Structure 1
Amino acid sequence: GVFHNFAILSIKKQYPWHAKKVMNAVWGMGQMMFTKFVIVVDEDVDVHNLNDVMWRVGNNVDPRRDMTFTDGPLDVLDHAAPVARIGTKIGIDATKKWASEGFVRDWPDDILMEKTVKMKIGALLRELNLVE
């Protein structure tokens, strides 16, 4: 999925730090060099489902290990940069980590709620006016 300043990509991880290679490849591809945020997830994640993507970011990312900062060209419409058209970009590796990437614990299975539980929670959130 791509939208202004963001690219979310899913990969079938083939080797350690594959996500970092993908981030740098994206920043090296034509107009993609202007992308400020690159998020890489595993192949089973729907890149169009932002809830799922952010769940992976929240659960799979250790900021020191999995975030890559680099400086480079930015979109002329990006007014957050201190200098026009130049600034910092961030790559986020939200893939499950392997032992060969320094992750020595067992990776836990995803915990999925049953559909009936999701429906009950959704109804409660609507009743409390916490969602539309």
Structure 2
Amino acid sequence: IVLEGYVDPHDIRDEGPFGDHTGYYTPVEPYPTFTLTGIMRRENPIYVTTVVGKPILEDAYIGKVIEQSFLPLIRMFHPEVVDFSMPAAGWFQGLAIISIKKRYPGQAKKVMMGLWGMGQLALTKMFVVVDEDINVHDINDVIWAITTRADAARDTIIINNTPTDTLDPASPMVNLGSKLGIDATQKTREEGYEREIQQQVKVDIDTKELVDSKWSSYEL
């Protein structure tokens, strides 16, 4: 289906409210008018559309495709990036989670700053950076990393008066708000971690293989 017409920049009319992918109605705003002059279609056309509202809905799958298409481009500028996720519940622009191969102190913050300077990612409201052993698509794994590897005073960044998504219902002004960055990577001495570095609990391979080989004999 092709809609033919023109936009007159001087013909301004109120548009909305529209239910949007944030889960809120966007307010009525003045926009230029599109004047329809014709419609072209094939016989028995299929009109493709999605239903939007409070996430997660149909448009989430489109967003996940776009998310993964960003990854190769991000790696071109930030080769330490392992994976990238924009959870659908965060309406994509609201939250992004990035895993990195960390090699030096402050690297997580460097990645945040770099991504906030990349095109549409400049509108991302919150970044969480984790180590490569964290699955960015598993929100429980991400929460575990935040609560065990991030200190609120040391590992958070808040930047005021930055560009935001027009649809963000929480920003104090349209298109202008704040950013939050959380460094949920493991910390080094150089980053101010003065305690004894704690080791993650893991089952050693020999014990796991032994239990697996005898599992059927346990009659559990």
TM bracket (short chain):
0.7 to 0.9
Which structure features the higher share of strand residues?
Answer: 2
User: Shift of residue 14 of structure 1?
Assistant: 1.5
Q: Which residue of structure 1 aligns with residue 189 of structure 2?
A: 99
TM-align CA RMSD: 1.5
Match of 2:164 in 1: 74
How far the C-alpha of 1:8 sits from its partner, in A, is 0.3
SS at match of 2:154: helix
Of 10, 28, 43 in structure 1, the residue corresponding to residue 117 of structure 2 is 28
User: What corresponds to 2:173 in structure 1?
Assistant: 83
Question: Out of 4, 14, 17, which is 2:106 matched to?
Answer: 17
- Partners in 1 of 2:147 and 2:112 — Cα distance? 19
- Residues in 2 aligned to 1:45 and 1:102: alpha-carbon distance in whole angstroms: 22
The alignment status of 1:59 with 2:148, answered yes or no, reads yes
| Letter aligned with residue 20 of structure 1 | K
- Pairwise CA distance, 1:10: 0.5
Q: Deviations over 1:8-49 (max 9, x none)?
A: 000111211100001101100000001011000001111001
Residue deviations 1:57-114, cap 9 Å, x none?
Answer: 011111110000012111111010110011011000000000011112222122358x
Count residues with an aligned counterpart.
114
Q: What percent identity do the matched residue pairs reach?
A: 45
Secondary structure in 2 aligned to 1:19?
A: helix
Q: Distance in 1 between matches of 2:150 and 2:166?
A: 30
What TM-score do the two structures reach when normalised by structure 2? Answer: 0.50
Unaligned runs of 5+ in 2: 1-84, 204-220
Instruction: Indicate if the aligned counterparts of 1:41 and 1:53 stay in contact, CA closer than 8 A.
Output: yes
SS of 2:199's equivalent? Answer: coil
* Higher-Rg member (1/2): 2
Q: In proportion to residue count, which structure has more helix?
A: 1
Distance 1:86 1:111 in 2: 43
Higher normalized contact order (CA 8 Å, seq sep 6+, divided by chain length)? 1
Distance 2:196 2:116 in 1: 32
